[in-house]
Chain A
Amino acid sequence: MTIVLVLIYVVFGVAALVTLWRIVVGPSILDRAVAADVLLTEVMCVLGADMVINHHTRTLPVLLVIAAIGVFGSIAIARFVARREGR
């Protein structure tokens, strides 16, 4: 059981670091938007994993709010790029 826990921690950590690398390096702003979206979803996954492992329900509303609001980040970035590139 402990091995599975350590494996979950390591996989989440490596995924977050790799995504962060794309946010830092990413050539265009849209690459960064996509990577930030993935990082946000991974935060949701980590909160859910925390609830599964520790058996509490305190962060369920946070999950709901992030699921509802999280889209507007990348939509706003896409619209902003549209306005700047438009004639």
Chain B
Amino acid sequence: MRAEQWMDGIALVLVLIGALLCLSAAIGIVRFRDVPTRLHAATKPQVLGLILICIAIALALRSAEATAFVIPIVLIQLATAPLSAHMVSRQAYRNGTLDESTLLVDELAEARTRDEES
């Protein structure tokens, strides 16, 4: 009985941390200037928050089926979050929606001019 209460409490704390990570992603999305920095704020905390909440699900439900269900959710999210972030940031670069004065090194510009010449 005591152990189960402890696990429920830890699960609630993990959910709270996940919610705070969601909040930090939202604040980053509002505060940052252009698309790539917003993407940077958005992608990482949301994946970590989801992982924490999935651990909380496994702790709170305490069954092998729920744990086996949660693992592919985390794996799929880890595989697909960089995919969409890559597509969106590449498109943001090509559209010119990023603030180029903040860049120190622009390694993509060379490839882009080569594309336009050919």
Q: Which residues of A contact B (CB under 8 A)?
A: 1, 4-5, 7-8, 11-12, 14-16, 18-19, 21-22, 28, 30-31, 33-35, 37-38, 41-42, 44-45, 48-49, 51-53, 55, 57, 60, 63-64, 67-68, 70-71, 73-75, 77-79, 81-82, 85
Contact partner, A49, options B15, B46, B59, B95, Cβ 8 Å: B15
The reply to whether the CB of B112 lies closer than 8 angstroms to some CB of chain A is no
Q: Is the CB of A45 within 8 A of B88?
A: no
Instruction: Give A78 to B84 CA distance when docked, in angstroms.
Output: 9
Contact partner, B95, options A7, A42, A51, A85, Cβ 8 Å: A85
Q: Is the CB of A38 within 8 A of B42?
A: yes
B48, chain A: closest CB distance, angstroms: 11
List the count of A-B residue pairs having beta carbons below 8 Å apart. 165
Q: Is the CB of B91 within 8 A of A34?
A: no
B15, chain A: closest CB distance, angstroms: 5
The reply to whether the CB of B27 lies closer than 8 angstroms to some CB of chain A is yes
Q: Is the CB of B30 within 8 A of A18?
A: yes
Q: Which residues of A contact B61 (CB under 8 A)?
A: 51-52, 55, 57
Q: Which residues of B contact A33 (CB under 8 A)?
A: 88
Instruction: Give A70 to B43 CA distance when docked, in angstroms.
Output: 13
With A34-B39, A41-B22 already in contact, the answer to whether A53 and B87 are too (CB < 8 A) is: no
Instruction: Give A44 to B56 CA distance when docked, in angstroms.
Output: 13
Instruction: Give A71 to B56 CA distance when docked, in angstroms.
Output: 24
Instruction: Give A16 to B30 CA distance when docked, in angstroms.
Output: 12
